[in-house]
Amino acid sequence: MKKERQRLIKQLLVSNDIQRQEDFVTLLAKENVTVTQATVSRDIKDMQLVKVPSITGGYRYSLPTQKNVDTEKKLIQTVKDSFVSVKSMDKFIFINVLPGSGPVISSLLGQMNYREIFGTIGDDNTVLIVCNNDADTVAFRERIDGMIGA
């Protein structure tokens, strides 16, 4: 459902001058897709939509101009630049990072779709990685150690 909705959002961006999140909700409803403004907000973040000047005045949503960012390279550099410490236990890996880096790292981990990861939570200066099982925790911890050069 999410991938289909986001595909539809891309189509709507091409054919409409969408200035507000509520406009997405209305246009999606016309396509028989019922969503809340909060869901649209998450999709905007996930799709990395940006606001650009509109020919009618104001600003409109647009796809990012460059989506070819090497996500893994960005993840590795962000972890290296902000790393403070890391601990692991059972299915969990807990990383302390510099303030402001937690949400970015959590988002990048999500974009990578690593098979070992069940999910992540990132706050200002920490990232909690929940792995699928203990073996995946060990394997992913080794990946993190490689990122920081440990």
3-class SS string, the chain: CHHHHHHHHHHHHHHCCCCCHHHHHHHHHHCCCCCCHHHHHHHHHHHCCEEEECCCCCEEEECCCCCCCCHHHHHHHHHHHHEEEEEEECCEEEEEECCCCHHHHHHHHHHHCCCCEEEEEECCCEEEEEECCHHHHHHHHHHHHHHHCC
- What integer pLDDT is reported at residue 95 of this predicted model? 98
Q: How far apart are CA 133 and CA 17, in angstroms?
A: 46
Pick 71 or 96 by higher pLDDT: 96
Model confidence, pTM: 0.56
- What integer pLDDT is reported at residue 69 of this predicted model? 55
- What integer pLDDT is reported at residue 66 of this predicted model? 54
Output the CA torsion sign for 85, 79, 144, 46. positive
pLDDT in tens, 10-53: 999 988 889 999 999 999 999 999 999 999 999 999 898 988 88
Whether 81 and 108 have beta carbons less than 8 Å apart is answered as no
